[in-house]
Structure 1
């Protein structure tokens, strides 16, 4: 079924309710590889209920399924994540009941055979007082759904990486079972677990979730510039450019200019850049 531009842009949802507890908070942290060293107390704080901290990028899973992507008519088997942006309004609690309001802000037609880009915005609020916790802006690339006659240009501008050598580089290894752990936080797409399905859609084996790689880059910023204090992160934006296979090491290159951290991530063993145009804004 072809995309109907007016229909997609009319799709909204309000006050979708979700709840999570310390178990989900710890599971997310384990899913992005925190706690691998049981003697590292800075990481233990994210996987142990005594003084539990939350990673800002957990915002991408606490309202998993919010919005109405399923009503757009796209071929979901041919979808990949394009960009992810996160703005924090206040630190995420380690447990909460939340409300999610979602809408589409763009639906771009790249042409027949070239795909479509759908950009959605979700604001997450704390149910107990209605205060906003964060705003998520996500773009998905629907590879099989171009040619519907919508606008071809739009979307937020990409962040430019500084034209100098990186100030720092942080290597983060992933485990062979990383995707199997991460998927328990919400994204059960078989692309990340089933070898036969992965081959059917064009990958040699299951790939790591893009949002897991997103969490890894947040870990790198926290480690490099925040002394693992998640309240220092005000926003965290990326563009996905290539998949990571579980078991690979992700090398995050970082540049700091005042309160802005720019970053890219690559898998050196394959000479593959997996995250481009990364930008984090730190609290002053």
Structure 2
């Protein structure tokens, strides 16, 4: 089994991605919005008096075109896990709309026992040519290392001293993964016990991007006064699995104005999202 290293540096697209207001609501429910209904009616309803519907910013992470990049190689899909994710918005995400999506394979790195595949995608407004969002993803594929490639570059991040400035607790639901998969990620690792066992897991695990969305909600609540249009950029590393039903605790440390670092831990204290960074944007006057 080998990876297709000839893909590195190639840009694919455009592929067209269209979404509806219902898609935005399904995503918000998939990442737990509505648990405190009065706080998130803008994300979960379209007909509440005096409340304009909003798309939650991390919805951009699922708006790529899945078949845009050719197969990365010949490997067992059960050995692939999400390693890192970033998302940056250049304008509030429209509740419904269309975008041209481009995706580039920026690197394949040798991690010894596995390989790290890094991609970057952009969503472009087809009418104006403006970039709406940019996402970066890293995937770790167990057993595909040892090909003699370069090691992945490592950034600097340290957990701040002292107690966090904000702590937000969420409870995921036992059926959380089954709900989140309606956003388009039908990987059986999150629903099929036999497939999960092939990957070395005792049960289907929660999508990493679902946990990521929960963290985004905590950051918007803590640092943006609940206004999703003030979301600027977010990045984090997936460091441990979450099972549907687990409690998530988001710890946020404010840095410079408009910037913060964060971690997400399970209820038992295990760090599941690490090396988190978040940046706000100025309050927007544009109606998405």
- Which residue is 2:159 aligned to? 161
- Aligned residue number for residue 177 of structure 1: 175
Distance 1:8 1:158, change over 3 A: farther
Instruction: Extract structure 1 runs of 4+ deviating beyond 3 A.
Output: 71-75
Contact 1:254 1:262 in 2 (8 A): yes
- The residue that corresponds to 2:140 in the other structure is 141
Deviations 1:26-60 (A, max 9, x none): 0000000111244x1x3111011131101111001
SS of residue matched to 2:82: strand
Aligned length in residues: 277
2:151 corresponds in structure 1 to: 152
Q: 1:199 to 1:74 in 2, by over 3 A?
A: closer
Matched, 1:24 2:23: yes
How far apart, CA to CA, are the structure 1 residues paired with 2:185 and 2:157?
Answer: 27
CA contact (8 A) 2:100 2:124 kept: yes
| Most deviating of 191-200 and 233-242 | 191-200
Counting only pairs closer than 5 Å after superposition, residues 20-59 of structure 1 correspond to structure 2 as 20-38=19-37, 40=38, 42-50=39-47, 51-59=52-60
Shift, 1:268, TM fit? 2.3
Q: Per the alignment, do residues 69 and 109 of structure 1 end up closer, same or farther by CA in structure 2, a change over 3 Å counting?
A: farther
Q: Aligned residue for 2:77?
A: 76
2: distance between equivalents of 1:49 and 1:34? 14
Q: TM-score, normalised by structure 1?
A: 0.93
Query: 2:286 aligns to what?
Result: none
**RMSD between aligned alpha carbons?**
1.5
Residue 241 of structure 1: aligned partner: 239
- 1:264 aligns to what? 263
Q: Distance in 1 between matches of 2:179 and 2:98?
A: 23
Cα offsets for 1:236-277 (capped at 9, x unmatched): 1010000111111100111112211111011123x3110101
Partner of 1:93: 94
Distance in 1 (CA, whole Å) between partners of 2:55 and 2:26 is 11
Matches within 5 A, 1:204-219: 204-219=202-217
Q: Quick one: distance in 2 between partners of 1:117 and 1:176?
A: 30
Alignment partner, residue 225 of structure 1: 223
Structure 1 residue 3: deviation in Å?
Answer: 2.2
Contiguous gaps of at least 5 residues in structure 1: none
